Structure 1
Amino acid sequence: MSLTQKSFLPFFLSLIFLLSTITTTTSTLQNLLRSQGLPGGLFPNNVKSYNLDQNGRLEVQLDGPCMTKYEARVVFDSVVRANLSYGGLMGLEGLIQEELFLWFPVKGFLVNDPSSGLILVDIGLAHKQLSRSLFEVPPVCKPREADLLENLGRKMGFQAQR
């Protein structure tokens, strides 16, 4: 076996382990949510890890703040916390949703009647009923637009100073 083949094997095995860990974390969180009567796609695809304590307090770590869309645009913080109980994810922290060009904190998700196909989204000032199907698959979450604009501004400023 050549040196290149010897160094490639550990790299390849590490890559497989890393990818299986990411997939397992996301799918395990999906399974946890489904076992509690909730859709599995309430959190995006970039979940790094999560912890559920004995009091039902769920903490989800993401790769970083990101934006996605269900029915409206939403922004996830890098850490999202909530109280998990059967049919509900309440007391949410770290999630905001755009409504009529304003951003509101999402306080919770509630499934009162699983057969209705609806999920109740609590945005503080109001409750919205949305199709549960919007939340079945974890959405792709991209870096927030504000972060992209800030990085672009830094790059342009750096180039202008040359």
Structure 2
Amino acid sequence: MNTNNIILIGMPGAGKSTIGVVLAKKLGYTFIDSDLVIQEKEHMLLHEIISQKGLDGFNEVENKINAQLDVSHSIIATGGSVVYGKEAMQHLSSIGTIIYLCLPFDDLVKRLGDLEERGVSMRPEQTLLDLYRERTPLYEKYADITINCSDISIREIVGLIAKKLNK
């Protein structure tokens, strides 16, 4: 089992994919977006999976696919809801270092566009603030390293991550 991966977790809009690509280039790693892996394996877009299988069905698919990722020397940008999958998080913890890209709620609101179009997995009665409050303790629980991404550039975030990983 390889333990040399870097796994990025955090809310939608925190910058996991963007930062992941830049970090992969800097460190010479492969970049994997687990949402794209899910879409590829399911032959559907995220919002189509959610509308067809419901939220619980989507979370099951996400958990199963992330729990089976078999990669090495990779930066893995996960979907924001990956932390609901116990098996996925245990597996990801076992194959690398989990980094939580933390963003204050107000910053998140500014960054996010249409939540449905993004395939954000949330219940109809939930607000973004509800979701933020529900997920934050889970991100904190699973994180090996937390990076506050408020008011700093992508380059600075990547530098901070590299420094914390001694790379």
Alignment TM class, shorter chain as reference: under 0.3
Taking structure 2 as the reference length, the TM-score comes to 0.26
The structure whose residues are more often strand, as a share, is 1
Length-normalised TM-score, structure 1: 0.27
Q: Name the structure where helix makes up a greater proportion of residues.
A: 2
Higher RCO (C-alpha under 8 Å, 6+ residues apart): 2
